[in-house]
Structure 1
């Protein structure tokens, strides 16, 4: 009596705990499918070889961007690398150290490194409990500092595999231990390039397409200006980052990641989860794909917008939100469908607040505004184009008001140095967009006409005039809405006025926001057409026409006329 009649095997406490952690992330069903397809039916375990193939970066072709090419030694080596990566005909000239080969070796060791770091095999391979625990080790809910610690550990191991010396040390084996040592700018570039590759791999699950390395210059300069002390004059517009030997302390680098790009460590977790998702859905191919399609190169560099892949990726890893997912989905790909997100571009749709309004009105979703301008002439003997790019992310539609409005927003310094300025919660002066009144109404104190972000009326942190010809950037002391900091290099306390070269607006509200805007525009066009329509029946009779009435008044203006009722 009381004896159990169940024939089900008893689940150990270790297995129950591991499955509970995986279930809290919603990944347990996916892990069960992946394990069933990866495991050997006889041993009921997954071999390390299958896992290494699964986590290997299947890259068809590696395309080098201009900043990436700047790390090559000379034009001879540039031509050799172009031939190696099938880039002969692209017309790219490069000059600087042999980092491309190092990164390629690092990507080749990615699969084996991830397996060694997160999977502990038994004699027969990885059993179910070890498989789930390995997933939890990488993808469970942990603090941001622990996630960054795991990412840096993988980076150190994978760098040693590529014979790249990295001066980082971990005080213990805990995932949240203190990190000592330092990084050099070239090390930061390698880490960011690896994270970009992981982001690309999590979006392009089967490796179809081209792994293109975007310009990461703005992010590397952000680390240097935030963490390092460069001796002598340091011109962010004209500097050879690969030759800088400035030491960037590990502690300051961790602080920079947490304050500027806190979603950077998620690149590892998303890649790990995406590769297991492949195994759950389609299984794993035991032979990596080596096919290449050079014809796809043009689709990557076909557009020349302010919002490049590198800048879009930098914005997407600044916060966790639906907007970041929309940006990642649009830009971390082969470039297809990017044009669908472009709402307004001054060089294409025309300058001025009126043209701007005709394209953004009715868009009920997040909008990213980028402004490219030039303030001042280049210094003597320096022909470098000293343009800068700033941006603002709004989470609400634009409205024509003479006061500030909005419930959320972010400011960005995009180029040449990347910085982020989230809201601080003291004020809610997120957006100001005021059109010129249509009626000739006297206003004793007229409000500024233009586009602004932060600050107060008359002292906006960013103000774009009505003609979209000039932008004024003021010191952060006038702004209690966004985080303090310089939007421009060497900004100073005085307002900086720049000549605008381009303004872009990108919509990331998804298909729903675009559909709502299209219906809004159709409705406005219908109302406009109805207002223009003239009822010709009213003027069909000469006796009722305005012309006859005017002629009668001119012939006898004093005649008394009775109005027909």
Structure 2
């Protein structure tokens, strides 16, 4: 018992090592299932043509849509499948055997350092560019996965790399045959690279520039540093796509030879290291597009949401990515609060007022229909009771003096909190992130020196004398009176201060060309997005129902406990407080 017979095949040491590495990621059962469906039963190997079609993103009738999609990107996507197979699979006689199949997976998806993952991503990018005849000026010193990268990139090259990573993220979630890949606006990320890594000669206006024609050399070393500090999860896009394609193959119930048919799985759960990704069916005809009007006009666009989601690896990032990349049909459920100011044209005094009155009525109707709030009290009524991560985006405009005139500049900043809002006159919280969202994207994680993450103070009810009243409003970072971001109680102005006042979040400018003096901006829009899942929303709904019940009970008055008001002691006390010196005659 327990002794092996001579008829049992002996497993090689190479196979044991490859399988143990795959088992450490939890992917070994999936790989066994995928290999059994992809391999030829006669040769027990997978052909290269089979794998290339599996890893190819561009299917029949699928195209890449967007306002600024370069032709080179479409050509690069056509070579995605063949490039991935050439980079990670080493064929043997007759195709890819089981050991080579597992080792290829480990080469791309095993746990490695972030620098190695970025090195693999850049190698794939360079290889795809060469196949598409797109010149990229990057050189690798050796064939090692952690070698030094030399050369430089141009802004258009950075855009292509980011667009490729977006396509990989999109492809890891939208694996159906129909639907076009919709490329979002990624200029805020490209501008972040330019301002962090490049030296632009002359005046450079981030609000008005064409990145496709900028001839700014961005050194490879500085670009790698930017990725590690700003978008450390960017290389995971490649691993997630690679893993998702094999997962789909493992769950494919169609015939092995019908490779042109893409499986339509109802629900697929898969894990890759710490990532947990869920693929669900889409109700829309184009699963990759967010076609709703509400989503189109939100501050949190697809490109901004994707950028925020790859700044750190957490469940919150996965919620953001899932809501905006999958299909966009459920993003309305994540919107907790929205405010947008109205700009009404003044009504002329002697001219025809009909068009202006109609404009006023129309905008006022829009205000009431969309439930736009105008102060912190109404903001609090929307966010109170939400026990989960919240993403706050603030759009404002400030005046910039230029040649004797002032120019309005619009910018967007944000804050991600991992705890619920509380009514306190002190800072609180355990974690949080600040973001410069537009026109340039930057991220400011916590640095651990202080814990002044969130400040949300409401005006106290009742007439209570306070010798030193605390500021009323919403703030992030800094100290009371010197907050890094402070929104006043009317939600009319936001003040952004220099990072020297803040020891909670990473230093850096939240606004382009931000100086040492505080910058005041006029708020135009505020959005709060909740990413605590259905559970957080259900808890908030239960909390609101309970508060409404308590409020209704407090409003009820038991008339049996009241006698004549004229004889009540309450009336006597009120009369004495109104005029305590009045002469009163006692009735006998």
**Shared fold (TM-score greater than 0.5)?**
yes
CA–CA distance in structure 2, aligned partners of residues 292 and 554 of structure 1: 70
Q: How does 1:485-564 map to 2 (within 5 A)?
A: 485-538=508-561
1:238·1:384 contact (CA, 8 Å) conserved in 2?
no
The residue number in structure 1 matching 2:296 is 303
Q: Verify the 8 A CA contact 2:182 2:288 in the aligned structure 1.
A: no
Stretch moving more, 376-385 or 26-35: 376-385
Structure 1 residues 319 and 563 mapped into 2: Cα distance closer, same or farther (>3 Å)? farther
What is the alpha-carbon distance in structure 2 between the residues aligned to residue 256 and residue 540 of structure 1? 75
Higher relative contact order (CA 8 A, sep 6+): 1
CA distance in structure 2 between the aligned counterparts of 1:551 and 1:251, rounded to whole angstroms:
77
Counterpart contact for 2:121–2:238, Cα < 8 Å:
yes
Shift of the 536–120 alpha-carbon distance from structure 1 to 2, 3 Å rule, reads same
Question: What do residues 352-374 of structure 1 show as CA deviations (whole Å, max 9, x unaligned)?
Answer: xxxx1000011111101111110
Classify 1:298/1:428 alpha carbon distance in 2 versus 1 (closer, same or farther; 3 Å): closer
Change in Cα spacing, 1:309 to 1:247, as seen in structure 2 (3 Å) is: same
Q: CA deviation at 1:290?
A: 19
SS at match of 2:150: strand
Asked if the contact 1:300–1:335 (Cα under 8 Å) also holds between the matched residues in 2, the reply is: no
Tell me how far apart the structure 2 counterparts of residues 94 and 285 of structure 1 sit (CA, whole Å).
24
Q: 1:163: how far off?
A: 1.1
Q: Deviations over 1:278-316 (max 9, x none)?
A: 011125999999998699773488531111000000000
**C-alpha deviations, 1:108-145, integer Å up to 9, x for none?**
11111101111111111111000000000000000101
Specify the SS of the correspondent of 1:454: strand
**Aligned-partner Cα distance in 1 for 2:61–2:17:** 57
Displacement of 1:540: 9.0
Shift of 1:534: 1.8
Query: How far has the Cα of 1:410 moved from its partner?
Result: 0.5
| 1:236-280 per-position Cα deviation (integer Å, ceiling 9, x unaligned) | 001111110000000000000000000000000000000001011
Shift of 1:211: 1.4
The answer to whether the 8 Å contact 1:237/1:384 transfers is: no
TM-fit CA distance, 1:548: 12
| Structure 2 counterpart SS, 1:429 | coil
Mark the CA change 1:92 to 1:145 in structure 2 (over 3 Å): closer, same or farther: closer
Structure 1 residue aligned with 2:257: none
**What is the RMSD computed on CA atoms of the aligned residues?**
5.4
Deviation at 1:488?
0.4
SS of corresponding position for 2:511: coil
* CA displacement 1:10-41 (0-9 Å, x = unmatched): 11000000000000000000101101111111
Q: 1:524 and 1:169, CA in 2 relative to 1: closer, same or farther beyond 3 A?
A: same
CA distance in 1, matches of 2:535, 2:140: 47
Identify if the C-alpha distance between structure 1 residues 2 and 556 changes in structure 2 by more than 3 Å, giving closer, same or farther: closer
Cα gap change, 1:366 to 1:207, in 2 (>3 Å): farther
Pick closer, same or farther for the CA change 1:286–1:531 going to 2, 3 Å. Answer: closer
Is the 2:476–2:485 contact (alpha carbons within 8 Å) kept by the matching residues of 1? yes
What's the offset of the Cα at 1:210?
3.3
Secondary structure at the aligned position of 1:279 is classed as helix
Call closer, same or farther: CA 1:561–1:12 in 2, change over 3 Å.
farther
Change (3 A) 1:383 1:37: farther
- How far is 1:441 from its partner? 1.1
Q: 1:93 to 1:130 in 2, by over 3 A?
A: closer
For residues 566 and 174 of structure 2, the distance between their equivalents in structure 1, rounded to whole angstroms, comes to 74
Select which of 420, 428, 431 maps to 1:408. Answer: 431
Question: Are the aligned partners of 1:97 and 1:242 in contact in 2 as well (CA < 8 Å)?
Answer: no
Gaps of 5+ in 2: 254-276, 338-378
CA-CA distance at 1:511 after TM superposition: 0.8
Residues 452 and 464 in structure 1, CA contact (< 8 A), matched pair in contact too? yes
Contact in 2 for aligned 1:389/1:415 (Cα 8 Å): yes
Q: How far apart, CA to CA, are the structure 2 residues paired with 1:461 and 1:523?
A: 35
Alpha-carbon distance in 1 for matches of 2:578, 2:419: 61
Q: How much has 1:50 moved relative to structure 2?
A: 1.2
Counterparts in 2 of 1:412 and 1:210: CA distance versus 1, 3 Å: same
The 8 Å contact of residues 64 and 74 in structure 2, kept in 1 or not, is answered as no
Structure 1 residue 535: deviation in Å? 2.0
Residues 59-110 of structure 1 deviation map (CA, whole Å, 9 limit, x = unaligned): xxxxxxxxxxxxxxxxxxxxxxxx9999999999999999622111111111
* More deviation, 208-217/152-161: 208-217
Q: For 1:375, what is the secondary structure of its paired residue?
A: strand
Kindly indicate whether the alpha-carbon contact (under 8 Å) linking 1:181 and 1:249 is maintained by their aligned counterparts in 2.
yes
Q: Distance in 1 between matches of 2:194 and 2:94?
A: 48
Q: 5+ residue gaps in structure 1?
A: 53-82, 345-355
Distance 2:440 2:115 in 1: 24
Residues 212/14 of structure 1: CA separation in 2 closer, same or farther (3 Å cut): same
- The answer to whether the 8 A contact 1:86-1:294 is kept is no
- Native 8 Å contact 1:538 1:544 kept in 2: no
Q: 1:143 to 1:551 in 2, by over 3 A?
A: closer
